[in-house]
Amino acid sequence: MDTQPRHVSTVFQINIFIVTVLIFILLLHKPICHFNSYDKAPDLIPLSKEELAAIPTHVKVGLNILSFSKADLIKNDFIFEGSVWFEFDEKQIPLDSIKKFVIERGEIINQSEPVIRKIGNLTCAQFFIRAHFETDLNYQGYPLDDHRIAIIITNRTVSAETTVFKASNDTFTHSKDAHIQNCTLENNFVQYGYTQTDLALSKQTSIKTPRVIFSLDCNRIDIRHFLNVFLPLLLIFFLTLFAFSFDFEEHGTTVPTIAASGVPALLAYRFVIESVSPDVDYFMLSDHLFFLFLFLVFMIFIFIASALHSSQKVKKAIIIGLYACMLISCAMLFNSIV
């Protein structure tokens, strides 16, 4: 009579789980520490040196962010307090035209009267504003996603054929009080040029509008959202594997019950993931992780059904193989977002 144990010990299960977690922490280093954004850059037509020299009116534009009173990356909802300033020649463009600047994909909630300063022959007009805006965010890497937030300033009352808005990285600043929760604000980028809109009645006629894009890199440093999504998936996977630790001869009904419980547990948790994730129409990292663990848990059920009476070595090999499949798949997913 065969007296060799056919179930896997609890100590083995816990040890391999700990080793897997340690390897997984190493896999997280690159996606957490390296900035990578899938956000689409706003439409902008850059000016050539010849075009820039031919435009008679140049207006220097700057932006300073004092604070964010609202910054919700998940809902793409931002409100900031700060100031916008313009340096220009009043002989070429009047102050009344400068006042009509707008923030695209947003609205200026409050705007002060301009603070005027003279710099030689130029006029510097500074406007203190409180503005609400949204930007084009891509959540493909959620919940390990980084973002590049774009604040776009334009003036639809002037033409890019006669007026150019110029800016540089030095004209975009933010104070120490300007921060977004769970993120660090890193590099500032400024681009200027114009956008072109073709009129429907005549393809030969178009409207060119000057535009300045102030971009701010937002590097997610908090992994709370990731742990909220990933840890329950890992624990369901780990607990389902415990079906291999019960002797089928003694626990005939317990083994298939544990093996089968992982699938409905994951399906139920899917609703939790949906409630904390951005509402988008494409697959995110969280979706890929969910389907990965759903596949792994389903494979556990298949292996349990086909290897009930297999030896302990075979069952250990199955467990190691499933953990290896999980780690390799996660490594490939993380590598795809960095």
Q: What is the pLDDT of residues 212-261, one digit of tens each?
A: 999 999 888 777 778 888 889 999 999 888 878 766 655 556 666 777 78
Q: Tell me what pLDDT residue 322 has.
A: 93
Contact 6, 311 (CB under 8 A): yes
Q: Following CA atoms 312, 317, 321, 324 in sequence, which dihedral angle do they give, to the nearest 10 degrees?
A: 100
Q: Tell me what pLDDT residue 143 has.
A: 87
Measured in whole angstroms, the distance separating CA 61 from the mean position of its chain's CA atoms is 28
* Domains, the chain: 10-34+224-336 (1.20.58.390), 49-220 (2.70.170.10)
Q: Tell me what pLDDT residue 1 has.
A: 44
Q: Tell me what pLDDT residue 86 has.
A: 97
Q: Tell me what pLDDT residue 255 has.
A: 65
Spans of the chain, pLDDT less than 50: 1
CA atoms of 55 and 130, how far apart (whole Å): 31
Does pTM surpass 0.75? Answer: yes
CA atoms of 333 and 28, how far apart (whole Å): 11
